[in-house]
A and B are shown apart, each in its own frame.
Chain A
Amino acid sequence: MTEENTAPEEEVSEETVEEVDLGPVAYGVPVTESFGQTVLHPAPDQLIETVTVLQQDGFCMVIDLTVVDYLTHPGRTDLPAAVTPQRFEVVVALINHQQSTRIRLRVQAGNNQPTVPSLFDLFPGTEAMEREAWDLFGVTFTDHPDHSRILMPDDWEGHPLRKDHAVGDIPVQFSTTVGN
């Protein structure tokens, strides 16, 4: 009786230890699922490595790159235990044409000076998307070939899609200086 009782207890404890320590992992990073789509959660320094592996794996296009500012919604519940939520999250969507599957990367980019490596060398199509992310959210993409504003004027101050950039608090700026 005692042997039978102890054996399953050991198994249970092993399982719980595994879950707490790692959680499900794919491509070497924590993975979750959102409405049938796979979501990977690499750290900024794992991003290039992860995307390189994904590219070799048949994900032939970065279809979308954007940022979410979680300033006023910090307690989100859809992150795996291994990932610490941070204010800025860079969201990269890749697509695999052969298998017609999609994968999404959610990178915690930081709280104050969000920085992630640029994906330009792997996917040149991210150039405009990363410029937009810098312009509207102030996320720095290291090694980006043209790290400049794209939608706002060159002399604009601030990053308008941040949650602390209130709507309507700045009068319309008519650019007098030579800008972009």
Chain B
Amino acid sequence: MAASGDSAVAASPRKVLLVPLDPVHDVALKVLNRMLKARGHETVLLPPDLPMEEIVAKAAEEKPDVLMVSRTLSYGVAELLSRFVDQVEVAGLREKTRLVIGGKAIHPSLAAELGFDAGFGAESEYEEAISFVEGRTYVPKAARDDKVKADITSGYRYGYRNAGIGRLLDGIVDEILEWSASRTSPGVRRAELRKRMMSEGEASALLPEYLALCDEKIVRAYEKGEYPNKVRVLSAEEESRLDAFISQSKKVERSAVLRHTQKKPLVFVQYGTGCPIMDIQHIKTSEGWGADGVFHFDPSWGARTEGFLSGCLSHEEDGSVITVENLRKIKSSLHPATIWTVRAHRGLNTPETVVMAGEIGADLTKINIVYGSLNGGTDPERLTVDGVAGIRYAASYGMPFDIVTNEELGGVPADKAFAGMLIVARLALRLGAKPILKPLFCYSPDVMVRGLMDDNYVDYNAAKVMALRDIVDAPIWPGEPIGFMTHSEDRVQSAMATALHASLGISLGVDAITVASTDEAYSRGPISVAARVDTLQAVKEAFRFFGHSRIEPTAKAREWADGLIKGIETVLVEVAKRGSFVGALYDGLLGGPEDGAYPGRAGRGTVTTF
């Protein structure tokens, strides 16, 4: 039986006789005894292995409302239990006393066959047996659907605990805002048009103006129906069947909770199979196995293309194409408690993506000017202009956004990546948005070169969280996914790696984590739905295992956290001295060629001043 958290007092106390009709297996009855007593019931727990006649005599003396028997099934036990029921009947107890049997192999139909009123087995909850005692209808956990959408930023005040770093960030942000105030780009202008197209119903009238700001391959799709390679329009029949799938999924959907006794972290998964139908299958599966949130992963070419396609589109490779229609279908499939993120962070459509996501009802987005400029392929000047506009839109839609530090995966050290993240976070606060810090729990190139994880994966990941907490009071959401570069194609190892990193997240009290599937390291084909279930199950077990206990990092974690803070401060001093955030990006102060970071070229020369 599984534990229940319900400890309220029962309205009508009952008398319950608990009988271990077994030489040794009486643990479940002892647990029930404790729980029933806590709820105000009068209980009598007999010792194990009493002769049947003695038990019946005791029952006749106590005259209980409920007689609960536990017994492990083995050869001949069915006959023994039938005989017990007969003797209870002969003793005249059957009219008043309800008979219950419990044991690992018991199921309701077997209990009824043996003459019991109810039976509880290995998959029953204690709450189920208690509900029976109290005459209440039991609603199985799996059938409950009381999950509510969480606000990841709730309770954070964004105060800077490190005043020196706060002052440096303020100076850098002043310069960014002043510099960007008189600049615009095709991406910013498209975002303005997109907002009017979506909120004012002027889509067709504004389309020519919109297409004038788009790449040729986008224009060709609108005007000639010629779509980029490996992209196709779903047929009318496919769309109708997708609608039927969504409608039927909504009828049976249930949200599960992975956490055991913890309130956080929330657990996110990333989808982006390329096909909105398959995406929705992944989302419904993830919701059913306990994911709290999902986020949309688009194709890499989307970041280098000016403008968005339209229609319900399928893409044969990784990443699902962002269109109004695709996002609307996906949004319509979501459970009300599911937190939905549409990432906008790295490309030529950053502000427009935020507008689209905001208009359609996304909960969160993702913007990082620094990562997008240095490892995402977008020109720093362009992405700074677009990023500021995107952040303004995020603020206006009330959409918090995470600032991922994936440049670490290219080789940028954490102090440089964090300095960039903190600049964008300060910029967000100045513009009225709510940033979420996203350090990587990863085995990065810098970590490998410096030998920071030669002994364990705990200390340096813990140091990152400790350092950020020492700097600012902000939500922290390690990603993306946790355990990046520690997964192998072995699904047991992969699920275990994620579960252990999730355990570290639990221990550090972070607000959310993004988990991989067990196909994370498999690159020769798509991620399977079953692989998502494997990881979510492993993470659930981690939550159960740890409860409120903790992993204890070694003293190295504190030492490295202090080193990270010093490193971040040094980087910020250099950026501030440079006097130009965009110049600092081009000069490699937040990650340069020696770190595997290069200023992107997409959109270069497209920023104009006014």
A binds B: no
